[in-house]
Copies of this chain bind each other. A is one copy, B any other.
Amino acid sequence: MGGIRDVARHAGVAPSSVTRVLNGYPNISEDLRARVMAAIEACDYKPDAVASGLRRGVTRTIGIVVSDIVNPLFAEIVEGLEERLREDGYWFVLAHSHGDPEHDVESIRLLQQRRVDGLVLSVADETQPALLDILSRLRLPVVLLDREIEGWTEASAVLSDHRPGVAQVTGDLLDAGHTRVALISGSAETRPGRERLAGFREAFMARGLSPDSDIVQTGAMSVRAGQDAAREVLSRHPRPTAIITGANLQLVGVLKTMQELGLRVGKDVALAACDDVPIASLYAPPITVVARDTRQLGREAADLLLERLGDPARPARTIHLPTHVLTRASTQTLGAPEAGPTTPVAPQQP
């Protein structure tokens, strides 16, 4: 497959004319355009995006860093991002951190070398010094996904309002008579973890109660972390009558533990989760969640990035997106909060 020179020779024109036709420059004669198009066809010519990128100083590629694409939350965000970016002719390169903060920094460095035009980040640890270090040197538009990096205001961000959502479910549980409500959530190194904890506390304090003894925080957003945390919290005496999970993979772990222990969701222990992942609505009984529109989150992030890509002078912006509580059976069917089960029973069909 030849280059632009071959096409030019074939059409009997200059290479620059081929470029002009390809990139829709004005003032091109119909004759030239036709000859060039024919030659492009004849040579099966495909412009080399690498060469073009080198010359233009722009790659039309965005780097995306998330912890784990298997997490449906990130998968949906990435899909939202992709849809919007692609409309504008951008592609993306994806890097996983698997929850490792150093991996995040390394990914950013390598994406920078690949000359991506912008970055969308959901870092594993906002507080890592090396992160601030590399970001502050970076001359690239950055959008943070539900993250806040202290001391760095150059980035745009899309933030979800976790606090009021979690405060509401927590409050609903307390108002329904639950006295021992546990929170299993992500660490404070990340905004959602902090905000959810804040919302949780808020609900208690608004009622003159103190939640601290039943809070369990786990750093890892993983099934195992949720499983372990649930084992710990459910072994306490008196046992909590309700659990709120803050990360969707942890929810899976909590469900597993409850199955192991023969505890029925919504009967023996009320359960609420964050993010309306498929498992939440399909579980029997369906699980109450603090939901948000993840695809929209991705789209908004893309918009934020595109606006700065189009005009680098535009200042960074922060967008807040709402959450809303979807109340389902898992927090509504509790019979006798203090009564333990005698026999293991499968969750009921609705």
Contact = CB atoms under 8 A, between A and B. Distances in A.
Nearest to A255: B282
Nearest to A55: B54
A346 interface: yes
A14 interface: no
A61 interface: yes
A94 B285 CA distance: 36
A284 B50 contact: no
A343 B91 CA distance: 49
Interface stretch (A69-77, A161-169, A206-214, A311-319): A69-77
B349 A341 contact: no
A347 interface: yes
Contacts of A75: 69-70, 72, 75
B92 A93 contact: yes
Contacts of A46: 109, 112-113
Interface in A73-93: 75-76, 78-79, 82, 91-93
Given A70-B72, A72-B75, A252-B282, 17 more contacts: A46-B109, A46-B113, A48-B115, A49-B115, A50-B54, A68-B79, A70-B76, A72-B72, A91-B93, A91-B110, A267-B349, A279-B279, A282-B283, A283-B284, A284-B284, A284-B346, A284-B347
A41 interface: no
Contacts of A343: 341, 344, 346
Copies in the complex: 2
15 contacts: A46-B113, A49-B113, A69-B78, A70-B79, A91-B95, A92-B94, A94-B94, A255-B282, A279-B279, A279-B282, A284-B284, A284-B346, A284-B347, A343-B346, A344-B346
Given A75-B75, A282-B256, A341-B346, A51 B54 contact: yes
A341 B345 CA distance: 6
A255 B342 CA distance: 17
Nearest to A83: B96
A232 interface: no
A216 B256 CA distance: 34
A51 B93 CA distance: 18
A96 B115 CA distance: 23
Given A61-B93, A78-B69, A279-B282, A113 B48 contact: yes
A158 B268 CA distance: 46
Interface string A110-147: 10111100000000000000000000010100000000
A44 B139 CA distance: 13
A71 to B, nearest CB: 8
